[in-house]
Amino acid sequence: MALAFLLLGLGLFIIYKVIKCYALPPLILAGPPSASMITGNLGQIFSAGGMKYHGRFLEEYGRIFQIHGLLGDVQIFTSDCAAISAILNNAETFTHTEEYENIAHLILGPGLIGAKGPQHKRLRKMLNPIFSTSNIRELTGSFRGIANKLRDRLAGQLENDSPTKINVLDWLSRAALDLIGVGGAGYDFHAIDEEESNYTKAAKDLLPTLTSISAITLLIPYLPPSLSFRRRLLHWLPWPALRKFLDIIDTMDMTAWEVYEVKRRQVLGKEVVDQKEGGGKDVMSLAIAANERASPDTALAHEELVAQMSDLIFAGQDTTSGALCRTLQVLSTRPELQRRLRTEIIEAKQAKGLADLDYETLNSVPLLSAVCQEVLRLYPPVTWFDRTAQADTFLPLTSSLATPSGKHITSVPISKGTTVIMSVFGVNRDKSIWGEDADEFRPERWVEKERDEKRARVPSVWSSLLTFGAGPMACIGVRYAILELKVVLSTLLESFEFAATGDKIEWTLSFTMSPHVKGQDTPGLPLLVRRIETGKLEDQVIY
Ligand code: HEM
């Protein structure tokens, strides 16, 4: 029965793709030849080593070109700021792809990530104020608590004062889960305490498992739309990776409901708030409280609020741990920069007589900010995102483009149904914006006096970078993420020195970028970690 439905889904999928392919007028742009009759260039650009194709294609075909999608479908790949700005600021014409919406809805439920149109607007209207600067500032103490716990646990792993090889990815992933747990869901997963619960395991396994079943996710839009029906149907299929994936989403769903019930009782005053679990200032508590005050016609349903919790954990975990790992990896080969950062942090504390850096100081120490900006420019955790055109339209271009037929165009016609992939990586390294040294790690560029106006043309919600997207669907957690990075980095740099181990580290593409030791399947980032005495400048020995 399940197999029959799946085969029907597959049949409909193929028919739809073939019709779509013939219905679209041919595009006029250059682009790489197809690498496969079935997957076109998608197998190249979305493979683990996909970033080398992103770089190669951008270099060869420029800021906008066409690629081959599934079964001959033609898609656009672009790093052109004018085109991307037109797409991201026009959420009615350019929506998330059907595959994205369906898989987000299947995994996460009816939350922000899987929502579209007026539903998305409604959710965003309710949630935007909760992510305001003043609310995020209130999370500084909770984040510091998690960062201190991470520091103490790491210190416990070290052999005396000599450098010890530690898989920092493991620790930073746990910290990221606890940070989003406490600040986002108001729930301590105790991932740093090494209490592996069903939930921490599920959250850790979600993205790798999703990657391993990505073929089936393409078929989901062609199955009957009911969420419970789709989940039941997929449960019947005898595929171990799929079974594991469904168990993961069931565990996440169940925990989200349990946490929601507790939070709701706390917000309604029927249960005492645990100070260690966000102290009532976490995103979920604020969302539940706002929802209780909302009028019946604007209030969100319980399912929508529960789905927000899964959304936050899904969107905020691997992105944050990836950014933290990149920063420590970059610093591990730059002992002098580490020393300058440490000095900046300690001096800022001393100057203000603070035991811990507060929100305002974290945002005013220039070198820490510049290092975060430069890491997130050069190594964005999310390297691309896409949209599908819902109507025939034109994409404006930053400058005139010569097509293969010799015509000069200033905009590209896009037919309804065309998917456009936007390259964060390409925009963040565009030499016409960032200069000839765009591929170099140079944090100084963020503190130099003459701020280039060219950066102003980048569609952005943070620091003229596309790293957090732009427009009405941009990252809602951008301030949250930056605060997490600064709190964790300032805490760790004050207590430890980090150095490279000599292992060759490769970053591979799944939904976000993740580090691996070359030749190893499981993600990991080994670094040499050495303890230094907290808060003392003279103790800094560079090895
Ligand atoms: C360095 C860390 C992060 C990066 C690089 C990042 C990046 C992004 C990007 C690029 C998007 C937009 C995707 C698109 O337009 O298709 C996005 C969306 C989103 N992010 Fe983040 N993110 C990060 C951390 C976080 C955190 C910590 C949270 C939660 C507290 C979060 C919650 C979300 C949500 C809910 C969305 C969907 C927004 C919507 O559809 O309206 N993100 N993120």
Burial (0-12, 13-18, 19+ Cβ within 10 Å), 75: buried
Confidence of residue 541 (pLDDT cuts 50, 70, 90): very low
Regarding the beta carbon of 318 and ligand 1, being less than 6 Å apart is answered no
List residues forming the annotated binding site.
Answer: 475
- Ligand 1 centre to CA of 60 (Å) is 30
Residue-wise pLDDT for 398-410, tens only, equals: 999 999 988 999 9
If one looks up domain 47-60+86-378+424-501+529-543 in CATH, what number appears? Answer: 1.10.630.10
Instruction: Using a pLDDT cut of 90, give the percent of the chain over it.
Output: 64
**Ligand 1 pocket residue status of 480, Cβ below 6 Å:** yes
448-480 per-position pLDDT tens digit: 866 677 899 999 999 999 999 999 999 999 999
Ligand 1 within 6 A of 381 CB?
yes
Cβ of 468 less than 6 Å from ligand 1:
yes
Whole-Å CA distances, 217 to 11, 98, 234, 422: 15, 10, 11, 21
Where does the pLDDT of residue 218 fall: very low under 50, low under 70, confident under 90, or very high at 90 and above?
low
Q: pLDDT grade, residue 191 (50/70/90)?
A: very high
Separation of first and last alpha carbons in the chain? 64
List pLDDT tens digits, range 332-368.
Answer: 999 999 999 999 999 999 998 988 999 999 999 999 9
Please check the confidence at residue 304 and state whether its pLDDT lies above 50.
yes
pLDDT surpassing 50 at residue 434 = yes
Please tell me the pTM assigned to this model.
0.91
pLDDT band at residue 221 under the 50/70/90 scheme = low
Whole-number Å distance, alpha carbon 370 to ligand 1 midpoint, is 21
Ligand 1: atom nearest CA of 385 is 16
Q: Is any atom of ligand 1 closer than 6 Å to the C-beta of 112?
A: yes
Q: List the one residue out of 378, 429, 387, 416 whose CA is nearest residue 63.
A: 429
Instruction: Give the confidence band of 542 by pLDDT, cuts at 50, 70, 90.
Output: very low
> Where are the chain's structural domains?
47-60+86-378+424-501+529-543
Distance 320 CA to ligand 1 centre (A): 10
The CA distance from 99 to 97, in Å, is 5
Regarding the beta carbon of 370 and ligand 1, being less than 6 Å apart is answered no
| Cβ of 459 less than 6 Å from ligand 1 | no
Determine contact, residues 383/93, Cβ cutoff 8 Å. no
* Nearest atom of ligand 1 to the alpha carbon of 184: 30
Check whether 253 has a pLDDT greater than 60.
Answer: yes
Instruction: Supply angle C-alpha 42, 43, 45, rounded to 5.
Output: 60
- Residue 311 Cβ < 6 Å to ligand 1: yes
pLDDT at 184 over 70: yes
What tokens appear for 297 in the block?
């016609």
Does the structure show a pLDDT above 80 at 282?
yes
Atom of ligand 1 nearest to the CA of 100: 16
| Beta-carbon contacts of residue 385 (< 8 Å; ≥ 6 apart) | 421, 422, 424, 469
Q: Given this model, what pLDDT does residue 209 score? A: 85
Q: Exposed (0-12), middle (13-18) or buried (19+): which is 230, by Cβ within 10 Å?
A: middle
**How far apart are the C-alpha atoms of 78 and 58, rounded to whole Å?**
8
Average pLDDT over residues 41-58: 94
> Residue 358 Cα, ligand 1 centroid: separation in angstroms?
24
Q: Is the CB of 475 under 6 A from ligand 1?
A: yes
Q: Which atom of ligand 1 is nearest to the CA of 124?
A: 41
Query: What's the CA-to-centroid distance between 471 and ligand 1, angstroms?
Result: 12
Kindly state if the Cβ of 110 falls inside 6 Å of ligand 1: no
Residue nearest to atom 16 of ligand 1 (CA): 385
Q: Sign of the C-alpha dihedral, residues 55, 60, 65, 70?
A: negative
CA distance 399 to 404: 16
Answer yes or no: are the C-beta atoms of 529 and 155 closer than 8 Å. no
At 498 the pLDDT is: 98
Annotation: binding site for heme: 475
How many angstroms is it from 316 CA to the middle of ligand 1? Answer: 7
Give the amino acid at 522: T
**What spacing in Å lies between the alpha carbon of 475 and ligand 1's midpoint?**
4
